[in-house]
């Protein structure tokens, strides 16, 4: 009986990881990619990075791009300047919209937060100052929050542009004992870290939880 010799095809060579695609240029946010990390910075420091409709649209563009780019493995979100992460909604815009337009804007903003929360890739909020109202909501939509220096996180009341739905429905792992506090209660400094809301950034080779 003749023997049969099987010939195995060589394995295809493993090439380098795919390079990230070019990041789109945005008007109200800085967006860049370095290696496998995408960096999104809300860039409206003169108004403490307050959120208006064009800024929400820029955030949506950036996070959709990060989601769809296979080379991007995670995203870091922060605010420009050293005073605010995101200081809530842009009041100057709210003063000139109808109730219907405000509702539409709120729904669009919540859609962006849903995108961030369900991106399929880790999103780190580097909270570098005030995170008020919509800024608190945005931080809560991220996978993890890192407190950079002095910061204050305060959810919005139900009367504002973006409700505090994520704050009220935060899991104990995200908000810890802060979940039981009134919606308008600010959480500052070490209090938020003790409550499990965020972690402190490593500074000068030392870190603390």
pLDDT in tens, the chain (209 residues): 555 555 555 655 555 667 888 889 999 999 999 999 999 999 999 999 999 999 999 999 999 999 999 999 999 999 999 899 999 989 888 788 888 888 888 899 999 999 999 999 999 999 999 999 899 999 999 999 998 777 888 887 644 444 444 444 554 445 443 333 333 445 555 555 544 555 555 444 334 44
**Predicted pLDDT at 19:** 80
Identify the burial level of 205 via C-beta atoms within 10 angstroms of its C-beta, where 0-12 means exposed, 13-18 middle and 19 or more buried. Answer: exposed
pLDDT at 96: 85
Query: Is residue 65 within 8 Å of residue 29, measured between CB atoms?
Result: no
Reported pTM: 0.74
Q: What is the DSSP string of 105-173?
A: HHHHHHHHHHHHHT-SS-EEEEE-SEEETHHHHHHHHSSEEEE-SS-EEEPPPTTSSS--HHHHT--HH
Task: Note the pLDDT of residue 20.
Answer: 80
Tokens of 14: 């493993």
Query: Which residue has tokens 């780190």?
Result: 124
31 Cβ neighbours under 8 A, 6+ residues apart: 23, 24, 25, 38, 39, 40, 41, 58, 61, 62, 65
The domain spans of the chain are 29-200
- Show the tokens assigned to 105: 């804007």
> Can you name the CATH fold of 29-200?
2-enoyl-CoA Hydratase; Chain A, domain 1 (3.90.226)
Predicted confidence at residue 31, as pLDDT, reads: 98
| Confidence (pLDDT) at 17 | 65
Closest CA to 129 of 90, 168, 87, 84: 84
Using N-to-C axis directions, what is the helix angle for 99-117 and 53-68, rounded to 10°? Answer: 20
Closest CA to 57 of 105, 122, 97, 114: 105
Paired with 81 in beta bridges are: none
Closest listed residue to residue 107, CA positions, set 53, 168, 44, 50? 53
C-alpha distance from residue 179 to each of 132, 140, 164 (Å) = 16, 12, 11
- Gyration radius of the chain over CA positions: 21
115, 77 contact by CB (below 8 A): no
Q: What is the pLDDT of residue 172?
A: 44
């Amino acid at each position: 009986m003749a023997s049969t010799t099987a010939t195995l095809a060589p394995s295809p060579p493993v090439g380098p990881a795919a390079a990230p695609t070019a990041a789109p240029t945005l008007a109200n946010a800085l967006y860049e990619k370095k290696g496998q990390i995408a960096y999104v910075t809300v860039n409206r420091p003169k108004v403490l990075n307050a959120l208006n409709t064009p800024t929400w649209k820029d955030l949506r563009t950036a996070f959709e791009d990060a989601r769809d780019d296979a080379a991007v493995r995670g995203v870091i979100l922060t605010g420009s300047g050293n005073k605010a992460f995101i200081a809530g909604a842009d009041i100057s815009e709210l003063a000139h919209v109808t109730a219907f337009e405000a509702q539409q804007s709120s729904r669009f903003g919540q859609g962006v937060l849903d995108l961030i929360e369900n991106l399929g890739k880790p999103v780190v909020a580097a909270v570098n100052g005030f995170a008020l109202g919509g800024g608190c909501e945005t931080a809560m939509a991220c996978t993890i929050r890192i407190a950079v220096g002095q910061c204050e996180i305060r959810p919005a009341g139900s009367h504002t542009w973006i409700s505090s739905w994520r704050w009220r429905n935060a899991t104990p792992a995200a908000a810890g004992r802060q979940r039981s506090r009134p919606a308008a209660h600010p959480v500052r400094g070490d209090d938020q870290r003790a409550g499990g809301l965020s972690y402190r950034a490593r500074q000068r080779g030392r870190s603390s939880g």
